[in-house]
Amino acid sequence: MVDYIHTAEASMTFQHLVVMSHQWPNGDNADDLYTSNADMVSIGGNDNTALSAPVVWPDTGATGFIGIMDTDHHGGLSPVAGWVQKALCRGYGALLLMDSWNGEFGDDWTADADIEEMRYNLGYMVEYTARIRLADAAPNGALASTGYCLAVTTGRQQFIVYQPSSGSCTLNLTGYAGTFSVEYLRCNTGATSTGSTVAGNGTRTLNSPWAGEDYVAFVELSAVNGALTKTLDNATVSATGTLGATASGSLTATLAAATVSSAAKLAIVATSTTTLAAATVSSTATLANTGALTATLASATLAATGATGAFAVGALTATLADATASSTATLALAGATTATLEAATLTSAAALANTGALTATLASATVVAVGVEVVIVSIVAGTIRGAGASGTVRGAGTTGAVRS
């Protein structure tokens, strides 16, 4: 069945952990469970001996399996006090209580104080496993005089120690430098108490404030004096004084003299205040002015050449439309001009001489203004109408230019 489930789920996005449980009756952990392809195994026995003194996990031949401690597989409805804390400190990854509760399948445990303490301690141990780096933790009973210790011995060291009887116990911190904080858990009430810190690099005594009771001690590195060399992935480091660190995942540290080397990516956050000296700014730019320009020209002399050969003298008044002015020494203006000419003498190539008033409307003109204006008007094409001494010439198209 274990192999069937693995095969059926192999092509799926996610796969379940497959659990194999102790065979009853007359099951054998080594022959039945440790030879299987299960991911988790729930060991068992014929009585509750394993609850009183759980074998350190992984058991011989059980490497690679997650161990499950289930009271139902160790004497049925006969759990023993302290089995929860003992099983955790011996390395089991899942703890299960076969709870009779209201007596439907055994005794009525509804108001049983010992069973109630087990229920609460299952919760207390979950809280401690959330505080410890569980993936790096392993049972290490040799460090504690009680034989019950779950330890993280790399990076920031952490230890969960269980004293199943009462009184003091010891924790060997040889090889682990620094100052360690201590928190005690009163197992029968859930109360906690902060103990005195202990120094590393030696065997230290732990003693809870509650006489005559079992307790759990949670010990972890809280301060390091001296130079610190640490390889970080992503860390925010602020440096002033002695290292006082509370870290889970990322490290927030106050360092004295510290050397930080990064094997991956090091992010350092700091605040910088800089005073800048005086700065000189030089600007090179082109000046362009655009606007509307209105100009009135003084009297001008007009000379007309073309088919009629007309010459006229008069006053020129010109109003210029919008103009774009670009200024570099000489001012050039572009616009439209309208001029009214006074009396002019007409000379005809066909010996026709007519005298009259000449009115000419000039089209667009380019004006360059400096000094006295001279206007030369060319009549491209025109028609002379009239008989006698006077006539009117209208220009079909005219161009003109005023030159200084």
User: Where residue 218 sits, what CATH number does that domain have?
Assistant: 2.60.40.1180
Residue 285: inside a domain: no
Residue 274: inside a domain: no
pLDDT, one tens digit per residue, over 106-130 is 888 988 999 999 999 999 999 999 9
Residue 283: inside a domain: no
The domain boundary residue, chosen from 90, 110, 131:
131
Q: Name the band, by pLDDT with cuts 50, 70 and 90, for residue 27.
A: confident
What is the pLDDT, as a whole number, of residue 282?
Answer: 52
d(CA 376, CA 352): 24
Q: Tell me which DSSP letter residue 61 carries.
A: T
Mean pLDDT of 230-235: 59
Cα dihedral 81, 84, 85, 89 sign:
positive
Instruction: Answer left, alpha or beta for residue 153, where phi above 0 means left and psi between -120 and 50 means alpha.
Output: alpha
**314 and 258 in one domain?**
no
Residue 272: inside a domain: no
Tell me what the pLDDT averaged over the chain comes to: 73
**120 and 25 in one domain?**
yes
Residue 268: inside a domain: no
The domain boundary residue, chosen from 200, 224, 248:
224
**360 and 257 in one domain?**
no
Beta-sheet pairing, 252-254 with 236-238: parallel
d(CA 59, CA 353): 137
**165 and 90 in one domain?**
no
d(CA 207, CA 17): 40
Number of structural domains in the chain: 4
Of the two residues 171 and 244, the one the predictor is more confident about is 171
Mean pLDDT of 25-31: 89
Share above pLDDT 70 across residues of the chain, in percent, rounded to a whole number: 55
pTM, 2 dp:
0.57
Q: Which of 115, 69, 71 is nearest to 90 (CA)?
A: 69
The domain boundary residue, chosen from 205, 224, 243:
224
* Structural domain for 8, as ranges: 2-131
Of the two residues 370 and 318, the one the predictor is more confident about is 318
Residue 399: inside a domain: yes
pLDDT, one tens digit per residue, over 341-377 is 455 444 444 433 444 554 545 454 454 444 433 444 4
What is the pLDDT, as a whole number, of residue 290?
Answer: 57
Q: Which residue is listed with tokens 């210029």?
A: 320
Of the two residues 75 and 232, the one the predictor is more confident about is 75
Whether 87 shows a pLDDT value over 70: the answer reads yes
Residue 51: inside a domain: yes
Residue 181: inside a domain: yes
Mean pLDDT of 210-214: 96
**233 and 219 in one domain?**
no
**87 and 204 in one domain?**
no
